[in-house]
Amino acid sequence: MPYTAAVLTVSDRASQGIYEDASGPAVAAFLAEKGYEVVRCALVPDERAEIASLLRDFVAEDIALVVTTGGTGFSPRDVTPEATISVCDRMAPGIPEAMRAASRAITPHAVLSREVAGISERTLIVNVPGSPKAAIENLEAVIDALPHGLELLRGGCGDGAVA
């Protein structure tokens, strides 16, 4: 059975209708191609409370994987990592470390990304950048490891057996 996933786009301008969200649909399509059942997609402005509230909703819905796109840079309005940290019980630093390392091979600006990943109950939350290209590049760096982590997180033994 595929793992469920949700995609949360964080963007002031897209949420105001100034431009169409391209990152959320790109991430959702990528996850679907990788076998995830994308059950929710949402778009919010760069407001910490709104981001955290939706993340908590996704956790309450027992969605296995939540990917946020946007709000991970240096702008004063980029608060996605802080909202994510406020929702998580435990952090998963290897995921953003791997994403930044892979991105560093493409652009020196990768070191400026503040994305985080963490666990809230049985949900893994992963931040990726707001550009569709960078979001997919980041996910490609870690996507093969995520099913094993999700299996462990959701009560499996990591070898296909249920605990």
> What per-residue confidence (pLDDT) applies to 158?
61
Q: Tell me the C-alpha distance between 40 and 69, whole Å.
A: 14
- Where residue 77 falls among pLDDT bands split at 50, 70, 90? very high
> What per-residue confidence (pLDDT) applies to 159?
56
Residues 125-138: tens digit of each pLDDT: 999 999 999 999 99
Whether 118 contacts 55, CB under 8 Å: no
Residues 2-28: tens digit of each pLDDT: 999 999 999 999 999 999 999 999 999
What domains appear along the chain, each with residue ranges and CATH number?
Answer: 4-153 (3.40.980.10)
Which residue in this structure is represented by tokens 């996605």?
80
Instruction: Compute the radius of gyration of the chain from its Cα atoms.
Output: 15
